[in-house]
A and B are shown apart, each in its own frame.
Chain A
Amino acid sequence: MTLTAVTRYLPLLLLALLWEAATRIGLVSPLVLPPFSDVIVAWVDLARGGELLTNGLSSLYRTFSGLGLAIVVGSVAGFFMAWSPTVQSLLQPVVRLFYPMPKSALIPVLALWLGFGDKSKIALIFLGCLLPVILSAFNGARGTEQALMWSARSMGASRLRVLLDVMVPTALPELLSGIRIALAYSFILLVSSELVAARSGLGFLVGMLGEGGVYNAMFAGVLTIAALGFAADRLFLMLSNRVLRWRE
């Protein structure tokens, strides 16, 4: 198990070694690409200085507040759209209207309305993650077999019970894959909004270090964001496999 994991991820290690070698033998100027080992040292310095922790925490707080809100509101809206034709006909045009819009276009307006702090980032992430969650909850719940709903109804379940006990569990796999997409969006929107208008957060840290020309620390910050995004995705996959274990 561990051995296969090692052979599987060996190319990543090779990549890191190649990076180190190319910079050490002078193939690439250290001004353009600092050696990997220097980046690690810079990372340790950032971590010791506490910048990584405070900015990381504020980034994570923004991501998970925005994403959490979007999951709650989006799945409720999506399920109700699938459950009631009235709700569907009211919400569908709104979804259609806002779905194709690149949400990053809202960064300046949200900064204007809500300032440069947490609120504008949380609102952006919420809006960006909302539509994928609504659509996956809606499409998942709509795929529920009619026969299942009819039998639940004929066995005396109320319409609300059918929603909770039949439609929600059937929709779960699709909803979870929608949330996974939303998770990826949340990191993209977080970093872009922090790069544009922020006073804290990992995106802000990376932008500031880049402008200041402290490139090994900047690379350390970039790799931290990338690793966080990757880890969040892997954790979510593990979690959703657990949740879906009942489905053989």
Chain B
Amino acid sequence: MAGVEATARARAGASPRIFEVRLAGAVRGLVPYTVITVILLAWELFAHSGLVTPFMLPPIEAVAQMVWLDIATGSLFVNLGATLYRTFVGFGIAAVGGIAIGLLMANSRIVNWLLDPVVSAGFPMPKIAFLPVFILWFGLYDLSKIILIIVNAVFPVIIATTSGLRAVEREFVWSARSMGASERRVRWEIVLPAALPQILTGLQVALPISLIVAIVSEIIMAGDGLGGAMIASARYLQSPAVFAGIVEIAFTGFLVIKAMEIIRARALAWHTEATHTVVL
């Protein structure tokens, strides 16, 4: 043990004190994995303890086997593709439309007067309640799901865009104008980039909402997609498959949120924000 420590110290080429600090850092780095391992162990032990039936809480290996089966048969990719397609088409339309509406509202008094009450009333409403209405209007397939996603995701984008545009420092606009920039260039080269961090925050709110609505609408309307596959397993009372669905959906959520963080970091590489680490 002491030998290992000595070689590590020699390799690090550092004093014992620094080594201790590093060791403490390494131990702290291990804590998250330990916590997650403990959670998984507790699940496994509880599932095998006989206190619950395998139906209520299937053991991890049964769930992992189901996930593996979904991968091997390819059904995971089919359902993932369907869910992501709806999520990103809806999100994309909401993003472009929301930014456009926000721009119009910030630039035109009449548009602002018309839309401001609609937006401020629509934003806090639980728009998922319109699901039965959209089923009536647009059927049970992609169209109604995508429209429901758009309706849910567009409001945070509009609100982030208008408030971002309003917060742009006037000095920037004035100096660009005084240096002879046209209104068009002021809008595209000054105002929009300055409002970009807030617009991106709006998009970061809208993307998880899009995924949540995609999953909920699939659960309610059934059919394909990760939510649809999960509710079908629930109807057939296959609880390992239901848990596998949760794992797959959770992993998708993780991927989607990470992707958005990377996009933000790329788009704002020029911004002071890039040098600050954003916490959790």
Contacts and interface: CB of A to CB of B under 8 A. Distances in A.
A7 B246 CA distance: 48
Contact of A104 (B56, B219, B257): B219
A105 B246 CA distance: 6
B253 A112 contact: no
Contacts of A135: 280
Interface stretch (A48-56, A64-72, A154-162, A191-199): A191-199
B225 to A, nearest CB: 12
Contacts of B127: 226
Contacts of A177: none
Interface string B98-126: 00000000000000011111100100111
Contacts of B195: none
A11 B246 contact: no
Contact of A12 (B39, B117, B126): B117
Interface stretch (B69-77, B128-136, B171-179): B128-136
A99 B211 CA distance: 13
A101 B239 contact: no
Interface string A1-44: 00000011111100100000000000000001000000000000
Contacts of A80: none
Given A100-B250, A102-B253, A112-B234, A225 B126 contact: yes
Task: Identify which of B135, B215, B257 gathers the most chain A CB atoms within 10 Å of its CB.
Answer: B215
Contacts, number: 156
Nearest to A207: B132
* Contact residues on B (Cβ < 8 Å of other chain), bracket: 35 or more
B254 A104 contact: no
B128 A109 contact: no
B13 interface: no
A188 interface: yes
B202 interface: no
Contacts of A142: 279
Contacts of B124: 184, 229-230, 232-234
A215 interface: yes
A178 interface: no
Interface stretch (B15-23, B29-37, B182-190): B29-37
B125 A226 contact: yes
A2 to B, nearest CB: 15
B128 A191 contact: yes
Contact of B216 (A32, A95, A192, A219): A192
B46 to A, nearest CB: 13
Contacts of B212: 102-104, 188
B242 interface: yes
Contacts of B32: 89, 92-93, 96
B227 interface: yes
B219 A192 contact: yes
- Dominant secondary structure at the B interface: helix
A106 interface: yes
B116 to A, nearest CB: 7
A147 interface: no
A113 interface: yes
B129 A102 contact: no
B199 interface: no
Interface in A133-173: 135, 139, 142
A11 B113 contact: yes
Task: Identify which of A95, A106, A108, A229 gathers the most chain B CB atoms within 10 Å of its CB.
Answer: A108
Contact of B220 (A10, A93, A192): A192
A60 interface: no
Interface string B199-234: 000000000100110011001100000110011001
Nearest to B242: A108
Interface of B: 28, 31-33, 35-36, 39, 56, 113-118, 121, 124-133, 135-137, 208, 211-212, 215-216, 219-220, 226-227, 230-231, 234, 239, 242-243, 245-246, 249-250, 253-254, 256-258, 279-280
20 contacts: A11-B114, A11-B118, A12-B117, A97-B36, A98-B250, A100-B258, A101-B246, A101-B253, A102-B212, A102-B253, A103-B212, A104-B227, A105-B230, A109-B243, A139-B279, A187-B126, A190-B126, A202-B129, A225-B126, A232-B124
Q: A-B pairs with the 4 shortest C-beta distances?
A: A233-B124, A210-B132, A93-B32, A187-B126
Given A12-B121, A104-B216, 15 more contacts: A7-B113, A11-B113, A15-B118, A102-B208, A104-B212, A105-B215, A107-B219, A109-B242, A112-B56, A142-B279, A187-B126, A188-B128, A190-B126, A218-B133, A225-B129
